[in-house]
Amino acid sequence: MEKFVTIGEAAQLTGLSAKMIRHYEANGLLPRLSRTEAGYRLYNRQQLALLGLIRQARKLGFAMVQIQSLLSLWRKPDRTSREVKKLANAHLDEITQKIAELQQMQTALQQLADHCSDDDSAQCAILDGLSANTMLNSAHSPK
């Protein structure tokens, strides 16, 4: 006989909050759940595994739509590992792009901070630099 757990137990076992579990259910990430006569949700081993997969995917930064794709592949016994790897590599490419953008931001902000006199004067190289970049960007943007 299959063992079922309540949402509180599911939350404890998966490291997710009950609120997040309900959110994932509302967004269709979980199949229809069994319920007690009183209406309490009941989770089986497979649903707990799904919740664990969702939690790990979120920790790795996958978007909800990507998680839906991962879950679809997880449920599909005739999937190929190539399909899963393609999805993972696409996410890796997004992460690599975000890292590059963050490094550019870091460099630009470091340059502005390096030019700050850090004294009591009203002159501020950081604000001057930010406003100069804004003026340059608006001059080059299409109208």
Query: What pLDDT digit, counting tens, does each position of 29-73 carry?
Result: 888 788 888 888 899 999 999 999 999 999 999 999 999 999 999
Q: How far apart are CA 34 and CA 123, in angstroms?
A: 66
C-alpha span between 56 and 74 (Å, rounded):
14
Model-level pTM? 0.75
Question: Which residue(s) pair with 41 in the sheet?
Answer: 35
- The C-alpha atoms of residue 34 and residue 118 are separated, in whole angstroms, by 63
